[in-house]
A and B are shown apart, each in its own frame.
Chain A
Amino acid sequence: MLEIVDFWKSFDGKPAIAGLSLDVRDNEYLTLLGPSGSGKSMLLRLIAGIERPDRGDIRLDGVSLLDQPTHARGIGFVLQNFALFPHMSVADNVAYGLRHRQIEPVTDESEVVKRVAAMLALVGLDGLEERMVGQISGGQRQRVALARTLVTEPKICLLDEPLGALDANLRARMTVELRQIRKALGVTFVHVTGNENEALAMGDRLVVLDQGKALQVDRPDVVYAKPAAEAVARFLNAFNLLNGRTEGERFVTGEISVALPENCSGADHYAIRYDQIAVHERGAAPAGRGDIEARYVTSEYLGSKFIYFFELAGGKMIEVEQHLSQHEPVRHRRGATYQLSWDLADVLLFDAEGRAIEALASSPARRAV
């Protein structure tokens, strides 16, 4: 529905968006994940038309939006920190776009009241119409901001870190509600976040941004299982990443080396997920798996899971995650050396440019085809 074609935008001489192309589909929840400075907020501002790209085109249903001002694009923008009008009531905030827009304002006041009431009911704010926005809670303000944008019936709604200002409890609740509200209206949401858990939980599709480029666009479960780039694996905050080089059958990092999957070459980054590592006493690791010796440092208890921290010979920290539903909590001896092991089929490899090395880690059966 919305096509972004080869966007370029420099900011203070540095490229904020560097050749980014993206397809936003009708009726989907698209999340954009990236660290700060990855250009994710800039991308939203370019889509909304607050900023103009140096190069590239943006098309909505095949029609270029490039020369259309923000309000003519049919794109709603829920700004970071909500940006509510502080001198107005909840109802007046939500009604603002209907009453005061230049294009087809709704002059029939009863119509305005009806649509505002319907929208407030949808976001769960009925009964708060007459409150001033200073008198409601953070979560309610978030809903007012959302309702204020959605009531103008945009084709696409952009959300800039919408859950960033909420506490953890509300965050979890709003995650579910945002998805439900979107489904009910059938509007496309483009949701920007720096939080990997939020990005994985929210989206129908996930875009991982870094340095103004889209590194990977795919379903969240696919991105999580098969990050397309070393940087994606890094942002997901779920992988132990070792940097080094391939020497014969081994991957060498610092003074230590680990086993590679069969028929691999050219790997510069070696990744293994936190929850795919097993801990054994020294020398007890089963054969045929990747293994490494590491010194136990400490652990962190997170309710449903334990995270154990190990240190490799070169000082690199390795995290091992064990869910208490599948493992009994284990007490390791601080400072003692253990052996960590993992299935070589779970290993992800990336080349010098950070690109995933495809098919090499796959099963022999697939290679035979």
Chain B
Amino acid sequence: MATVVDKSKADIDAPIAGEAWGQRNRHVLLLLPGVVWMLLFLVIPLLMMVYVSFWTQSTFAISPELTLKSWVTFFSSDTYFGALLTTLRIWLIVLALTFLIGYPVALFIGLFVENKTLQTILLVTCVIPFWTSFLIRVLAWRPMLGRQGAINLMLQNFGVIDEPIEMLLFTDVSVIIGMVQIYVVFMVGPIAFMLARIDNAIIEAARDLGASSWTIFRKIIFPLSLPGVVVGAIFVSVMVLGEFATSAALSGRKVNLLGNIIVTQVGSLKWAFAAVIGVILTVVMGLVITVLLRIVNIRREL
């Protein structure tokens, strides 16, 4: 008897239950396209890259027999391991400079400009250089920084220097200048956004409690803008760590970043070695982002 009742009850419930499943799990359906996309084009390629980095590479061919040879080559070669150190050094310098140049600009736009329209106009102005192609922006530095470039000519004509400064182009300096110019706006945007969200009344309250402007900046404004700094730093870090075009165009092949090595290795069909560097870059970026996210709890702030 009991079984009969259960069965009929199950029959009645079935269509309703199916509909309810769709209702309850709508978020699963919404997530599905994104998850499939990430699996196909991010997770699987990443695993594939790790796998390929252990393949055996001969001069003209690559075969799927697993070996550590490419990894050993990377860490035992001064050129390649040096490229890792150069990448890290240039990344840190560019990150510091984009912060030092970008923060005051963001402070001005986000805090001192009270008119929202003007704020938007100023932020858009920061993005205007992006209306020209990346390559043009980078190559435009050559006539600026060269031996006979605009900067050297100007300094000479004003009598500041007698001989042209040689170190401006085709050195670390030119690569750093180029990268800072391109990426500083990614620091300005998020910080200006966070600063603009600070309620003016909070600053008034701090002032009324007797704090000086410097204390207010140190204890209120900077901590509240920190999520913006972290987001900006993540943007800049991810882009600088994977950079190859700026250094190729402005270093005259003297500064080799990990990105440049991947380009040459892929160019000469050395897939396994390129994969090794790819894995190392991915790990470095992962570490950098983890450390940055430790500084501030983004989820709580946004």
Contact = CB atoms under 8 A, between A and B. Distances in A.
Interface of A: 48, 50, 70-71, 76-77, 79-81, 83-87, 96-97, 100-103, 148-149, 152
Interface string B211-232: 1100100011001100000000
B175 to A, nearest CB: 37
Nearest to B224: A87
A157 to B, nearest CB: 11
Given A70-B207, A80-B201, A102-B215, 9 more contacts: A71-B207, A71-B210, A71-B211, A79-B208, A81-B199, A85-B206, A96-B211, A97-B210, A102-B211
B218 to A, nearest CB: 9
Contact of A102 (B202, B204, B205, B210): B210
Contacts of B219: 96, 100
Contacts of A71: 207-211
Contact of A76 (B206, B208, B215, B224): B208
A81 B204 CA distance: 12
Q: Which 3 A-B pairs have the closest CB atoms?
A: A101-B210, A97-B209, A71-B210
Nearest to A105: B210
A362 B206 CA distance: 53
The B interface is mostly helix, strand or loop, or mixed, namely: helix
Interface string B80-97: 000000000000000000
A100 B210 contact: yes
Given A96-B219, A100-B215, A70 B208 contact: yes
Nearest to B218: A100
Contacts of B204: 50, 77, 79, 83
A97 B206 CA distance: 7
Contact of A96 (B199, B206, B212, B224): B206
A356 to B, nearest CB: 38
A100 B201 contact: no
Nearest to B226: A87
A152 B223 contact: no
B209 A101 contact: yes
A50 B210 CA distance: 12
Contacts, number: 64
Nearest to B206: A96
A96 B219 CA distance: 9
A165 to B, nearest CB: 12
Contacts of B208: 48, 50, 70-71, 76-77, 79, 149
Interface in B157-207: 199, 201-202, 204-207
A148 B209 contact: yes
Interface residues of B, number: 17
A86 B224 contact: yes
Contacts of B206: 85, 96, 100
B209 A81 contact: no
A86 B224 CA distance: 8
A218 to B, nearest CB: 30
Contacts of B209: 71, 96-97, 100-101, 148-149, 152
B224 A103 contact: no
B295 to A, nearest CB: 13
A112 B286 CA distance: 42
Interface in B127-153: none
Residue of A50, A79, A100 ringed by the most chain B CB atoms within 10 A: A100
Nearest to B200: A83
Contact of A103 (B210, B215, B220): B210
A101 B204 CA distance: 13
Contact of B201 (A48, A79, A148, A152): A79
A85 B204 CA distance: 11
B212 A79 contact: no
B202 A85 contact: yes
A80 B212 CA distance: 22
B39 to A, nearest CB: 36
A100 B215 CA distance: 7
Contacts of A50: 204, 208
7 contacts: A71-B210, A81-B201, A86-B224, A100-B215, A148-B209, A149-B208, A149-B209
Contacts of A81: 199, 201
Contacts of B205: 77, 79, 83-85, 148
Contacts of B212: 100, 102
Contacts of B220: 85
A165 B223 CA distance: 26
A163 to B, nearest CB: 17
Given A85-B220, A87-B224, A152 B202 contact: no
B183 to A, nearest CB: 27
A156 B122 CA distance: 42
Nearest to B205: A83
A152 B205 CA distance: 13
Contacts of A83: 199, 201-202, 204-205
A83 B208 CA distance: 11
A100 B211 contact: yes
Contacts of B215: 100, 102
A76 B205 CA distance: 9
A79 B203 CA distance: 11
Contacts of A76: 208
A4 B199 CA distance: 30
Residue of B204, B205, B215, B223 ringed by the most chain A CB atoms within 10 A: B205
A179 to B, nearest CB: 23
